[in-house]
Amino acid sequence: MRSHTAISLTLTILLSSFSTLLNAADKPNVLLIAIDDLNDWVGCLGGHPQARTPHIDALASRGTLFTNAHCQAPICNPSRTSLMLGLRPSTTGIYINQPWFRSTKQNKDRVTLSQYFHQHGYQTLTTGKIYHGSRVDKPSFEVVGPLPGQRQKIDERLVTIGKTRSGLWDYGAQEYDEDLFGDYVDTSWGIEQLQKDHDKPFFLAVGLYRPHVPWYAPQRFFDKHPLKQISLPKVLDNDRDDLPPAATELTANPTPPAHDWFIEQNQWKPAVQAFLASSSFTDDQVGRLMEALNKSKYSKNTIVVLYSDHGFHLGEKQRWAKQSLWERSTRVPFIIFQPGQKQAQRCAQPVELMSIYPTLLDLCDLPARTELEGVSLLPLLDDPNSNWEHPAITTYQRHNHAVRSRDFRYIRYADGSEELYDHRNDPREWHNLAGNSKYREIMDEHSKWLPKENVPEARKNSK
């Protein structure tokens, strides 16, 4: 009797797996391309006049480019966790670069985007930086290629910005062979996967590390951005005078050199050049991947999603790096390419990276998950101008949020202090309007979207 039950149970499981496989057989593949620290300095977003990103621009010219897309946290770990779980930092409790979400009680059993695809018959593969550092998440990916930190060690330093500075903040052209660069190696592995025969639909995630510091790239990418032609971001001298103290405190970042250092050492232009060169190098990897996809048998049934985990300051608001609730840190390139798409689209509605999870479920016709906080972008993919009430929200550390609507950015810090910027006439966010009572109603409208719950910082399990 017991063995009969066991056989029946096994049959049920087998039939259920078989049915999942059958359903999966005609599903589209997914190619997820994650970029690290790339702000809107790409050609298609026009963030910098000397940005040279022809391959990202080419993808935008075939797919849907979201021109008002924002990360959920302006730093790697919480942004990537939010994207892969489809939940806000204020829900995961992952606000900074630690802890790893699987080591926390409230997040350890949560189902990531690619894990859910795996549960529905997909093969999941990854290389490079998808999570923070060189983390491998076994439930997320079955097949793991080269990861950051596992590559050939290269110690050359042609340029150094001073012994007292962190080596992380080094930059300059490098002379070693292009195919030794980590991003090149990871991209090559991604290309090999696109050239293989897969007996299931695949979810392939390729995480590119540049333009994260150190800004090392082959010389030829520096040559595309001659130093003499480099223009610097516009900065208003007294821009910071209208910031609340909470803003200054939250955005103080001891890791990068101070803005004054870049000016005094005449390093602002070389640093901007190195960021642009590193971005062009990453763009080249995107080009290699897309060429391989287009030549492969998967070219007509693969969805491509490209994004950066957050933006980056290079002197704007007299600061460097990420870790702020301003446009510079939150705005990111974000493109969705759907096979069979007839024409390119640009969508100016505010959207969140957290929406990638539910959107891909919709596009691949997988069962929706009600626990996700992101909203599917399907209506905007169908019509980029359709009505859209959702703003994009970014959180940096507990109780600090920015709400980005189509026209405004509203920021509320933990101590209740506020900022408001009108993007219709102040795209650089120089003039904080929060002190002007005539904007109270607009600020109140935006504050309705602030997360209702801000869970405490998640702790690493003691055992």
Interacting residues toward Ca ion by CB under 5 A: 239, 242, 430
Identify which of residues 239 and 422 has a Cβ nearer to Ca ion in the complex. Answer: 239
Tokens for 237? 């001298």
Q: Which runs of consecutive H residues, i.e. helices, occur in 345-439?
A: 356-363, 378-382
Closest Cα to residue 313, out of 327, 297, 334? Answer: 327
Query: Catalytic: which of 44, 48, 70, 76?
Result: 76
Closest distance between Ca ion and the C-beta of residue 242, in Å?
Answer: 4
Closest distance between Ca ion and the C-beta of residue 93, in Å?
Answer: 32
Closest distance between Ca ion and the C-beta of residue 236, in Å?
Answer: 7
Angle formed at CA 316 by CA 41 and CA 394, multiple of 5 degrees: 75
Closest distance between Ca ion and the C-beta of residue 287, in Å?
Answer: 38
Identify which of residues 26 and 260 has a Cβ nearer to Ca ion in the complex. Answer: 260
Q: What separation, in Å, do the N-terminal and C-terminal C-alpha atoms of the chain show? A: 41
Identify which of residues 430 and 449 has a Cβ nearer to Ca ion in the complex. Answer: 430
Residue least distant from Ca ion (Cβ): 239
Identify which of residues 53 and 432 has a Cβ nearer to Ca ion in the complex. Answer: 432
Tokens for 379? 């209506």
Backbone angles phi, psi at 24, to 5 degrees: -75, -25
Closest distance between Ca ion and the C-beta of residue 16, in Å?
Answer: 59
Identify which of residues 178 and 242 has a Cβ nearer to Ca ion in the complex. Answer: 242
Backbone angles phi, psi at 21, to 5 degrees: -65, -45
Only one residue has tokens 């549960």, namely 119
Identify which of residues 32 and 411 has a Cβ nearer to Ca ion in the complex. Answer: 411
Q: Are 65 and 46 in contact (CB under 8 A)?
A: no
Active site residue 76: yes
Which residues make beta-bridge pairs with 304?
Answer: 31, 337
What interhelical angle do 356-363 and 76-85 show, nearest 10? 30
Amino acid at 402: A
Nearest-angstrom CA–CA distance, 122 and 134: 23
Identify which of residues 208 and 243 has a Cβ nearer to Ca ion in the complex. Answer: 243
Closest distance between Ca ion and the C-beta of residue 412, in Å?
Answer: 17
Nearest-angstrom CA–CA distance, 130 and 32: 9
Nearest-angstrom CA–CA distance, 101 and 459: 9
Reported as half-sphere exposure (CB side, CA atoms, 13 A), residue 75 has a value of 19
DSSP characters for 187-233? HHHHHHHHHS--SS-EEEEEEE-TTSSSEEEEHHHHHTS-GGGPPPP
The residues, ordered by sequence, that sit 6+ positions from 46 with a Cβ below 8 Å of its Cβ are 40
Query: Catalytic: which of 132, 310, 313, 401?
Result: 132
Closest distance between Ca ion and the C-beta of residue 240, in Å?
Answer: 6
Q: Beta strand pairing status for 313-314 and 320-321? A: antiparallel
Which residues make beta-bridge pairs with 206?
Answer: 33, 127
Identify which of residues 239 and 457 has a Cβ nearer to Ca ion in the complex. Answer: 239
What three-state secondary structure class fits 119?
helix
What three-state secondary structure class fits 421?
strand
Active site residues: 76, 132
